A and B are shown apart, each in its own frame.
Chain A
Amino acid sequence: MSRGHKLMVGLGAVLIVGMLLVAAFSLGVYVGEHGWTWRGVSLAGPQPAPRPGGGPPPPNLPGLGQPDLVGRVRGVEEGRLNLATPEGPRVVEVADQTRVRTVEGEERPLDVLQPGDLVAVFGHPGDGGRTLVADVLVLLPPR
């Protein structure tokens, strides 16, 4: 093996190992957030963060104060709600006592939530503080 060949192999090995490390790191972050499922994959990616002064702040809803999370519904599965938020994808636990209501305060059934809906989440920490369990989901008007 010539010196040039060795150099190329060394550089190539660094490239492949680097690629595999980036892939492993990314998968680790993803699995930590979504678990072993492809359902968290979003082609559009997280919604862009609002420009300073360019958009309204999360609504301060009567009787509820500031929401814990505001985002667009990406998927609804049993007991979980996948949201795209300005901070990235988030999963919210939905319990039996979780209520859904409109901004006007009208109650809605949980199955009214559809991908693409904008929701504000008011909840409490669950699972030792690692998850957010929704108490109230407020359907926001589309932006």
Chain B
Amino acid sequence: MFRRNWVDLLITIVIFGLCLGVYNATLTPSLSYVSPDGNELATVCYTLGLAHSTGYPLYTWLGKLFTFLPVGDVAHRVNLMSATLGAAGVAFLYIVLRLLTSDLRQRAASRAASAFAALLFGFSRTFWSQTTIAEVYAPNVFMLTLTLVLLLWWARVEERDRRNRPRGEVWWRRFLPSWRSALLLFGFGLCFGLSLGTHMSNLGFAPAFALFALLVGPWTTLSPLGGGAAVTGFLLGLLQFLWLPLRAHTLLDAPMRANAPTTLRGIYNYTLGAFPQFKFAFPLTALPDRVVVYLYFLVQQFGFVGVLLGIGGMWLLLFRRPRRFFLLIGMYLVHVWFFIQYRAFDLDVFFIPAHLVYALFIGYGVGWGLKHVAKVRSSALRWALVGLVVLALALGLVKEVRANWAVNDRSTDTAINDFYENVFDLLPEGAVLLSRGGVFGYDLFYFRLVYDVRPDVLIPALEPGLSPEALVGREVYSTVPPAELGGRRNPWSPPPDWVPSDVWAVPVLIGNTVAQGTNRPLVLYRLTEEPPPLIVADAQPEHRVEKRLGGLTLVGYDLEEDSVEAGGTLHLTLYWRVEGAPGRLQVGTALGGVLLEVHPLGMGNLERYVETFHPPRNGVLVEEYRVVIPRRTEPGSAPLEVVVATGGGLEKPQAVERVPLQEITVLVPDVGR
């Protein structure tokens, strides 16, 4: 296709390079909580295990290739796959747009519009967010755009072949496609089948693909050499799912193991039948609300102007290229219809393919507009108009990048790695570490399964079938909140019989997730039958403060060190006097104005402690713990502060008052750390 189009090849390479540069600059350095499954996917790529439903074989294999790259750690390399394939997907989107706008017969307009729409999608908020972490959505866009390139390329070849057919041709010769047409159909079918290994929802595009093929080349589509080649390619692509029964024994997640894909029914339940509780989960009366949720996401990606341009592009495509319109609208409607009724808390990412299709509508609309601007007869006016439109498009892109950079920049997100490196430093020899199981446990499992860190520490969630007796005589720690060890359990909580119901969970280490905007607290608890000395009659802190903060008084604090390596910990003891009911006030620490952590006063033990021991009303509440200093903290001197926060929990605390404790010297992190 690019034999005579070196300009297009150059633009494609520039788009790829630009996107890869931006994605790489905002890439998550290692593990992350942005996606619930990302840490599992990064680990499974390395171990060649079986990911959660629907298995993602192609993703796993591609990820394995990336784990051989000699940069960063394994998670970083899998993150890099998202950046690379995401950028390649945007570059392929440019080619799709060029194929779509080829009827405009105005190459410059087609190129400008295609580049604009591809970059508009590439730097849209949700898609960009998925190119910086280990997730399936960016590789899926790569597979989808590659599939579309092959399908539209086939359509072009097929339409040309049809025009060149001699009149009075024998009827049965219509069933004989050219070798190029057959090869492209085979390639399309293979890519489409393989794309189910990056996201099963692509299967919903099958009716639109079939309809398009029938509209473009009915005889070829129905012929064994045409349609048959596509189906053969598709089935070959599906063979990847043999990976499921082969690797089913690597599953760690109890609910997934219960539906292990070792039988045909198991494979169905693991793939097409997965997540039945999420699908079509809303009554008809809720649909207006769901449509608005989708519109909200659409506006978030492209702005109101982009949405209007897309509607214009739809109409234009319908009148000018109705077959291609039906291909795109079929893909779009099926996808949107399915996912507006999908009950998932990370719903935004599921609409990425629909956004991709919408970007095609936008591109077509912009291309048509540019073509007509370029047709203005007066040369001066034409150039002025073209300059204005191109400037507006470029400014729109710059504005989009600026707005989304801050949201999607994960380059300083080292919270999980910082936390667990300190956890493994702190745990005594032979300790037990309780954690969540399944996909939610891979923030911990990663270190054991990929790097075999601290093999002496027993991680029961990695040992299905382990009996509670294995914990006897060992010190037990947990990263699971106390409530989840007791009454508020979920399928991924540790089994109830592993720890006594009256055990105390005493926080010893708090990680940093506040600045990263995630809602999974990183806390290491020591489980003990002895209650912590939470409230004492009197206390003699090393440094007295006596400062009122909200409904509390910070009596004073102890601090073991006044210098710390970035990535290390500060050992802090806070002494509080509570005036009246503490309510929902949360307390925390900040360094250099950046919140390190916030936690409920008493760290979840206060209510039970008061009910059990009835301490004196004027007693002093003691909180002793280590707080992790993020590895990317600037070396130098910075004030350590205590804050009292209100707000919706750990996600968006709003400090109402803060008091400086002392200056802390942050040192360059140890190379071995």
Would A9 and B295 count as touching, CB distance under 8 A? no
Task: Report A16 CB to chain B, min CB distance, Å.
Answer: 6
Chain B residues near A126 (CB, 8 Å)?
Answer: none
How many Å lie between the Cα of A10 and that of B318 in the bound state?
A: 9
Would B293 and A12 count as touching, CB distance under 8 A? no
Would B318 and A16 count as touching, CB distance under 8 A? yes
Would A30 and B288 count as touching, CB distance under 8 A? yes
Interface status of A59 (Cβ within 8 A of chain B): no
Q: For B289, give its contact among A16, A20, A26, A116 (CB under 8 Å).
A: A26
Given contacts A25-B288, A30-B288, contact A115 B648 (CB under 8 A): yes
Would A30 and B292 count as touching, CB distance under 8 A? yes
Interface status of A64 (Cβ within 8 A of chain B): no
Interface status of B290 (Cβ within 8 A of chain A): yes
Chain B residues near A5 (CB, 8 Å)?
Answer: 322
Would B345 and A44 count as touching, CB distance under 8 A? yes
How many Å lie between the Cα of A6 and that of B287 in the bound state?
A: 32
Among A35-43, A50-58, A130-138, the stretch that binds chain B is A35-43
Would B292 and A41 count as touching, CB distance under 8 A? yes
Chain A residues near B291 (CB, 8 Å)?
Answer: 22-23, 26-27
Q: B residues engaging A (CB < 8 A)?
A: 215, 281-282, 285-293, 295-296, 311, 314-315, 318-319, 322-323, 325-326, 329, 333, 343, 345, 347-348, 583-584, 646-649
Which of A20, A45, A114 has the largest number of chain B CB atoms within 10 A? A45
Interface status of A123 (Cβ within 8 A of chain B): no
Chain B residues near A22 (CB, 8 Å)?
Answer: 291
Chain B residues near A20 (CB, 8 Å)?
Answer: 311
Q: A residues engaging B (CB < 8 A)?
A: 5, 8-9, 12-13, 15-16, 19-20, 22-23, 25-27, 29-30, 38, 40-46, 48, 88-89, 108-109, 111-112, 114-116
The A-B contact count (CB < 8 A) is: 83
- Which residue on chain B has the smallest CB distance to residue A8? B322
Would B318 and A88 count as touching, CB distance under 8 A? no
The 9 closest A-B pairs by CB, nearest first: A26-B291, A8-B322, A26-B288, A29-B288, A12-B318, A30-B292, A41-B296, A43-B347, A115-B648
How many Å lie between the Cα of A15 and that of B287 in the bound state?
A: 18
Would A45 and B282 count as touching, CB distance under 8 A? yes
How many Å lie between the Cα of A25 and that of B284 in the bound state?
A: 13
Would B289 and A30 count as touching, CB distance under 8 A? yes
Q: For A111, give its contact among B318, B347, B646 (CB under 8 Å).
A: B646
Chain A residues near B287 (CB, 8 Å)?
Answer: 26
Which of B289, B315, B345, B649 has the largest number of chain A CB atoms within 10 A? B289
> What would be 19 A-B contacts, judged by CB atoms less than 8 Å apart?
A9-B319, A12-B325, A12-B329, A15-B333, A25-B288, A26-B287, A26-B288, A27-B295, A30-B292, A41-B293, A42-B289, A43-B293, A45-B289, A88-B286, A88-B289, A109-B583, A111-B646, A112-B583, A114-B647
Q: For B648, give its contact among A15, A43, A114 (CB under 8 Å).
A: A114
Chain A residues near B646 (CB, 8 Å)?
Answer: 111
| Extra 6 A-B pairs, beta carbons < 8 Å, given A115-B648, A116-B648 | A5-B322, A8-B326, A9-B322, A16-B314, A46-B289, A114-B648
Chain B residues near A13 (CB, 8 Å)?
Answer: 318
Would A46 and B293 count as touching, CB distance under 8 A? no
Interface of B, secondary structure class, is helix
How many Å lie between the Cα of A20 and that of B312 in the bound state?
A: 12
Would A27 and B290 count as touching, CB distance under 8 A? no
Task: Report A67 CB to chain B, min CB distance, Å.
Answer: 22
Task: Report B576 CB to chain A, min CB distance, Å.
Answer: 19
Would B292 and A26 count as touching, CB distance under 8 A? yes
How many Å lie between the Cα of A43 and that of B629 in the bound state?
A: 33
Would B326 and A26 count as touching, CB distance under 8 A? no
How many Å lie between the Cα of A46 and that of B288 in the bound state?
A: 12
How many Å lie between the Cα of A124 and that of B478 in the bound state?
A: 48
How many Å lie between the Cα of A9 and that of B318 in the bound state?
A: 6
How many Å lie between the Cα of A19 and that of B649 in the bound state?
A: 39
- Which residue on chain B has the smallest CB distance to residue A44? B345
Task: Report B103 CB to chain A, min CB distance, Å.
Answer: 14
Chain B residues near A116 (CB, 8 Å)?
Answer: 648
Task: Report A131 CB to chain B, min CB distance, Å.
Answer: 19
Task: Report A94 CB to chain B, min CB distance, Å.
Answer: 17
Chain B residues near A19 (CB, 8 Å)?
Answer: 333
Q: For B296, give its contact among A38, A44, A108, A109 (CB under 8 Å).
A: A38
Given contacts A8-B326, A20-B311, contact A44 B343 (CB under 8 A): yes
How many Å lie between the Cα of A9 and that of B583 in the bound state?
A: 63
- Which residue on chain B has the smallest CB distance to residue A113? B584
How many Å lie between the Cα of A19 and that of B325 in the bound state?
A: 14
Would A8 and B285 count as touching, CB distance under 8 A? no
How many Å lie between the Cα of A50 and that of B94 in the bound state?
A: 48
How many Å lie between the Cα of A12 and that of B289 in the bound state?
A: 25
Task: Report B210 CB to chain A, min CB distance, Å.
Answer: 16
How many Å lie between the Cα of A27 and that of B314 in the bound state?
A: 20
How many Å lie between the Cα of A29 and that of B319 in the bound state?
A: 32
Would A43 and B295 count as touching, CB distance under 8 A? no
Would B345 and A43 count as touching, CB distance under 8 A? yes
Task: Report B338 CB to chain A, min CB distance, Å.
Answer: 15
Task: Report A117 CB to chain B, min CB distance, Å.
Answer: 10
Given contacts A16-B315, A27-B295, A45-B290, contact A88 B648 (CB under 8 A): no
Chain B residues near A40 (CB, 8 Å)?
Answer: 292
Task: Report A105 CB to chain B, min CB distance, Å.
Answer: 14
Would B333 and A12 count as touching, CB distance under 8 A? no
- Which residue on chain B has the smallest CB distance to residue A73? B648
Would A12 and B322 count as touching, CB distance under 8 A? yes
Chain A residues near B347 (CB, 8 Å)?
Answer: 43
Would B289 and A23 count as touching, CB distance under 8 A? no
Would B295 and A114 count as touching, CB distance under 8 A? no
Chain A residues near B296 (CB, 8 Å)?
Answer: 38, 41
How many Å lie between the Cα of A115 and that of B323 in the bound state?
A: 47
Chain A residues near B348 (CB, 8 Å)?
Answer: 43
How many Å lie between the Cα of A27 and that of B299 in the bound state?
A: 13
Chain B residues near A15 (CB, 8 Å)?
Answer: 329, 333
Which of A15, A43, A44, A88 has the largest number of chain B CB atoms within 10 A? A43
- Which residue on chain B has the smallest CB distance to residue A106? B581
How many Å lie between the Cα of A116 and that of B519 in the bound state?
A: 13
Would B345 and A89 count as touching, CB distance under 8 A? no
Chain B residues near A16 (CB, 8 Å)?
Answer: 311, 314-315, 318, 329
How many Å lie between the Cα of A88 and that of B288 in the bound state?
A: 11
How many Å lie between the Cα of A114 and that of B584 in the bound state?
A: 9
Which of B293, B319, B323, B348 has the largest number of chain A CB atoms within 10 A? B293
